[in-house]
């Protein structure tokens, strides 16, 4: 068995064990040396997908394993199916966000956009955050708002608060690299 086959087998095992980060790393190593290796391309793509959409990625991986030896266009089929999954998720997410925006109007809170306006009025995040943190909820409805909020907390030296928000809420926005990267922005306690 060649090292290519050993690495491919190891990557597939990592994927099946739902260790998408390590699977992605191994597929990346394979693609570095074998850039046209279809199994590595599909595996890398599905590993990345698994970070956000675990069940869908696992299902596509199983389907790919079933068709890869019998279909010359298995890679294209997986690509089309994954695009359909993402498109469907986006449509559903837009509908949910629309409903959330309507609901925000009826809650005791302010939208993140209004909070950013308050920051701009006050001139700094710390002052705006301290003015509202005990009296008003800030309603964050998108991953981009969440990432921005956490970065602002970290920049204002609210490291413990940022960590608590990350631990409590990050799963609602998916476990993507940009969410994981936020943990690395928080200085470690000495």
- Tens of pLDDT, residue by residue over 96-108, are 666 666 555 545 6
Give the pTM. 0.46
Specify the length of the chain in residues.
190
Residue 171 tokens, joined: 């799963």
Domain membership of residue 74 as a residue range: 3-88
Final residue before a domain boundary, out of 58, 88, 118: 88
Q: 190 lies in a domain?
A: no
Which of 31, 61, 88 corresponds to the end of one domain?
88
DSSP letter at 35 equals T
**Per-residue tokens: 178:** 């940009």
List pLDDT tens digits, range 52-81.
Answer: 888 888 888 888 888 888 877 877 887 777
Instruction: Give me 49's structure tokens.
Output: 């997908």
How much is the pLDDT for 138?
A: 82
Report whether pLDDT(190) > 50: no
65 lies in the same domain as 141: no
Q: How far apart are CA 34 and CA 139, in angstroms?
A: 46
Q: Does 93 map to a domain?
A: no
Helix, strand or coil, per DSSP, at residue 10: helix
Let me know if residue 12 belongs to a domain: yes
Residues 124, 61 within the same domain? no
Q: What total of structural domains would you count in the chain?
A: 2
């Amino acid at each position: 068995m060649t090292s290519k086959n050993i690495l491919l087998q190891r990557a597939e095992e990592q994927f099946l064990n739902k260790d998408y980060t390590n699977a992605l790393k191994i597929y990346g190593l394979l693609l570095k040396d074998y850039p046209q290796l279809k199994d590595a391309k599909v595996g890398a793509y599905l590993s990345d997908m698994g970070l956000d959409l675990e069940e869908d990625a696992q299902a596509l991986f199983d389907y790919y394993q079933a068709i890869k030896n019998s279909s010359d266009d298995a890679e294209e089929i997986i690509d089309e199916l994954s695009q359909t999954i993402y498109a469907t998720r986006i449509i559903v997410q837009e509908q949910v966000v629309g409903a959330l925006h309507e609901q925000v109007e009826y809650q005791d809170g302010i939208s993140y956009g209004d909070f950013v306006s308050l920051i701009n009025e006050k001139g700094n995040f710390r002052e705006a955050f301290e003015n509202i943190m005990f009296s008003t909820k800030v309603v964050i409805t998108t991953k981009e708002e969440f990432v921005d909020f956490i970065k602002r907390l970290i920049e204002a030296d609210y490291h413990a608060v940022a960590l608590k928000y990350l631990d409590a809420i990050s799963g609602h926005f998916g476990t993507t690299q940009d969410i994981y990267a936020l943990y690395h922005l928080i200085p470690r306690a000495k």
